[in-house]
């Protein structure tokens, strides 16, 4: 197989995305856009490396030089192949189906992107635990804890011995798999994700720098504790869908008022982006509300209607429910 033998000597530095579906593809295409931008800046600078985001040095990051994208079905493989850019500046990507273990053997870093119920089919496969030894495994699975991932790995039939200490799968030959959980969101596609990360105790500084760099390429990164993960999964992973519902509701109102849906969508989304930009610049939500609601004006009438219909409680409860649901996902198996 052309893609085996990565990870040593002059071999390419390989990132394998094990389960490259909706979110995996969003990350893949975000990373491709990032690398294309870096490469074209390098060309502009006459071959000099382009600047990295603040806080990163080129020599510290083991950047992937190719990506292997694994899916389960031929239909998904074909769709992914069709979507891949032909740009000469993009990182090479190979789409793989039915050969997970070899794609992981060839990897330096593995990004696990299957659904929680497919964890066992991805990581419990014979030979997988051995293939992951000595490597960094980044899981983007909602609700699946590091100990749960370790348990699945420990069931792999090729291990000689397995011992878990809460953060690391210790393999028969003493080499370990570092597991880091990251929760990006679907805006990875446009490099506007907000990703939360929880680092395991044995993650090396190099592991952390790579994970920080990868997700900084496609948005912002915040480090959190394992205990905060489900709430942040809801707040960062799920809320793009909440915001979509809010915009959709505005569009229904706008259409009822005679506006064209497509034009209203641009106006509403841009307004949401503007309000978000103000808050990211330090504006407090209550101050923003007060600035917009002119005394005796129209905005306060809309705000009061939202409060009468208990939007605040409904949204807070929705986030709490989402968090509770996330916490159960790790126990789901196909």
Ligand X SMILES: NC(=O)C1=CN([C@@H]2O[C@H](COP(=O)(O)OP(=O)(O)OC[C@H]3O[C@@H](n4cnc5c(N)ncnc54)[C@H](OP(=O)(O)O)[C@@H]3O)[C@@H](O)[C@H]2O)C=CC1
Q: Interface with ligand X by CB under 6 A: which residues?
A: 19-24, 70-73, 76, 100, 113-116, 118, 121-122, 140-142, 183, 185-186, 237
Shortest spacing between CB 206 and ligand X, in angstroms: 25
Site string for ligand A1CAB, 122-161 (x = CB under 6 A): --------------------x-------------------
Q: Is 242 exposed, middle or buried (0-12, 13-18, 19+ CB in 10 A)?
A: middle
Does position 113 interact with ligand A1CAB (CB under 6 A)? The reply is no
**Least Cβ distance, residue 293 to ligand X (angstroms):** 33
CA distance 37 to 34: 5
Shortest spacing between CB 233 and ligand X, in angstroms: 7
Q: Which residues contact 275 (CB under 8 A, 6 or more apart)?
A: 288
Chain length of the chain: 334
In the structure encoding, which two tokens stand for residue 248, read together?
Answer: 């959709």
**Residue 156 interaction partner, one of ligand A1CAB, ligand X, none, beta carbon < 5-8 Å per kind:** none
Tell me the β-bridge partners of 201: none
| Interacting partner of 136 out of ligand A1CAB, ligand X, none (Cβ under 5 to 8 A depending on kind) | none
Regarding 169 and contact with ligand A1CAB (CB under 6 A), the answer is: no
Tell me whether residue 65 or residue 121 sits nearer to ligand X (CB atom).
121
Q: Where in 98-252 does DSSP place strands (E)?
A: 109-112, 136-139, 163-164, 168-170, 176-183, 193-198, 219-223
In whole angstroms, the minimum distance from the beta carbon of 243 to ligand A1CAB comes to 13
Of the candidate residues 24, 184, 237, 330, the single one contacting ligand A1CAB (CB under 6 A): 237
| Residue 143 and residue 328 in contact, taking contact as beta carbons nearer than 8 Å | yes
Kindly tell me the burial class for residue 274, based on how many C-beta atoms sit within 10 Å of its own C-beta (0-12, 13-18, 19 or more).
exposed
Residue numbers of the site for ligand A1CAB (CB under 6 A)?
Answer: 142, 233, 237-238
């Amino acid at each position: 197989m052309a893609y085996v033998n990565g990870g040593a000597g002059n071999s390419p530095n390989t990132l394998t995305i094990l389960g490259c579906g909706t979110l995996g593809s969003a990350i893949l295409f975000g990373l491709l856009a990032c690398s294309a931008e870096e490469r074209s800046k390098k060309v502009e600078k006459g071959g000099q490396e382009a600047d990295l985001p603040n806080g990163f040095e080129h020599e510290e990051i083991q950047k992937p030089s190719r990506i292997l994208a694994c899916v389960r079905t031929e239909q998904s493989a074909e769709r992914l192949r069709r979507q891949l850019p032909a740009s000469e500046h993009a990182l090479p990507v190979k789409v793989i189906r039915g050969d997970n273990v070899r794609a992981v053997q060839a990897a330096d870093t593995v990004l696990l992107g299957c659904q929680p119920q497919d964890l066992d089919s991805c990581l419990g496969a014979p030979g997988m635990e051995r293939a992951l030894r000595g490597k960094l495994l980044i899981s983007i699975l909602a609700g699946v804890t590091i100990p749960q991932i370790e348990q699945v790995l420990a069931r792999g039939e090729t291990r000689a011995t397995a011992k878990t200490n809460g953060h690391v799968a210790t393999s028969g030959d003493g080499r370990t798999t570092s597991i880091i959980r990251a929760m990006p969101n679907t805006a990875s596609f446009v490099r506007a994700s907000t990703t939360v990360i929880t680092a395991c105790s044995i993650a090396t500084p190099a592991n952390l720098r790579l994970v920080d760099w990868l997700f900084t390429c496609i948005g912002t990164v915040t480090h959190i504790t394992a205990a905060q993960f489900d709430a942040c999964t809801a707040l960062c992973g799920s809320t793009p869908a909440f915001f979509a519902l809010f915009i959709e509701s505005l569009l229904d109102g706008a259409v009822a008022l005679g506006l064209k849906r497509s034009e209203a969508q641009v106006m509403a989304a841009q307004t949401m982006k503007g309000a978000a930009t103000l808050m990211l610049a330090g504006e407090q939500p209550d101050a923003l509300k007060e600035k917009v609601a002119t005394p005796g004006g129209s905005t306060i009438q809309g705000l009061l209607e939202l409060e009468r219909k208990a939007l605040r409680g409904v949204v807070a409860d929705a986030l709490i429910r989402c968090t509770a649901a996330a916490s159960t996902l790790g126990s789901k198996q196909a």
